[in-house]
Amino acid sequence: MTSRAQPKAHRGAEAVSIQQRRYLVREASALYASPISRCVMDPATMTREDRLIARAKKVLSRRLGEPGAVFSSPHAVRDFLVFELAEVAREVFYAIFLDAQNRVTSCEPLFVGTLTQTSVYPREVIRRCIELNAAAVILAHNHPSGVTEPSMSDRALTNSLKSALAMIDVCVIDHFIVGGTARPMSFAERGLL
């Protein structure tokens, strides 16, 4: 009996360590995951309201982030970006790649930085535009501090990317700065683009 009990206990210990390893892998990949996938709740502890919110998040994610979706207004883009970037604790540089009819080809984080900055390489943005055959791009990044005012480096980066992407005929439609749940700042609306 003792020999059978020990393997079960041993298997239980292995199962816990495998679950812990899976958790650690999920935590490492969470840098690139949307807030939806990072905020998974245990169904047993969810209230009716939590279940309703979870369903609404799935619908929003599917409608706004799927390839072929059309952002019909700057307001729709804002809603999507707040949904994606508002709760992220590090600066993330994000791009929405569009085809010639302004349909979404891909929405993806390109660079992840620290609490106050991220390094963005125009070469990598250009490479991704070419890979996706993008005709236009909407750029975005978050400020975990909640302040949506663009810094001088934000302005310089936007101008640099706009110039670099123009060389391959990719139009930069806008650049948004998301700061928590505050209204994202649009470079195009401010005349900074």
Q: Supply the pLDDT for residue 66.
A: 62
Please report the pLDDT score of residue 42 as a whole number. Answer: 65
Residue 155: pLDDT above 60?
yes
**Range in 53-62, 73-82, 122-131 with the lowest mean pLDDT:** 53-62
| Window from 28-37, 90-99, 130-139 with minimum mean pLDDT | 28-37
pLDDT over 60 (residue 181) = yes
Q: Give me the residue label for tokens 């599917």.
A: 62
Looking at 6-15, 36-45, 49-58, 61-70, which range is the least confident one? 6-15
Greater confidence (173 vs 35) lies with: 173
pLDDT tens sequence across 64-114: 656 666 777 778 888 888 888 888 888 999 999 999 988 888 888 999 988
Confidence (pLDDT) at 61: 63
Residue 166 pLDDT exceeds 80: yes
Rounded to an integer, the average pLDDT of 162-181 is 93
- Closest-CA residue to 127 (of 93, 161, 176): 161
Q: How many CB atoms lie within 10 A of CB 171?
A: 15
Closest C-alpha among 180, 189, 187, 182 to residue 162: 187
Please check the confidence at residue 63 and state whether its pLDDT lies above 90. Answer: no
Looking up tokens 């963005």 gives 120
Task: Report DSSP letters for 148-188, one per residue.
Answer: -PPPHHHHHHHHHHHHHHHTTT-EEEEEEEE-TTSPPEEHH
Instruction: Considering only residues 113 and 21, tell me which one the structure prediction assigns the higher pLDDT.
Output: 113
User: What are the DSSP E strand ranges found in 43-156?
Assistant: 92-98, 104-112, 136-142
pLDDT band at 139 (very low <50, low <70, confident <90, very high): very high
Q: Which residue has the higher pLDDT, 166 or 118?
A: 166
**For domain 34-190, which CATH number applies: 3.40.50.970, 3.40.50.12170, 3.40.140.10, 3.90.1150.10?**
3.40.140.10
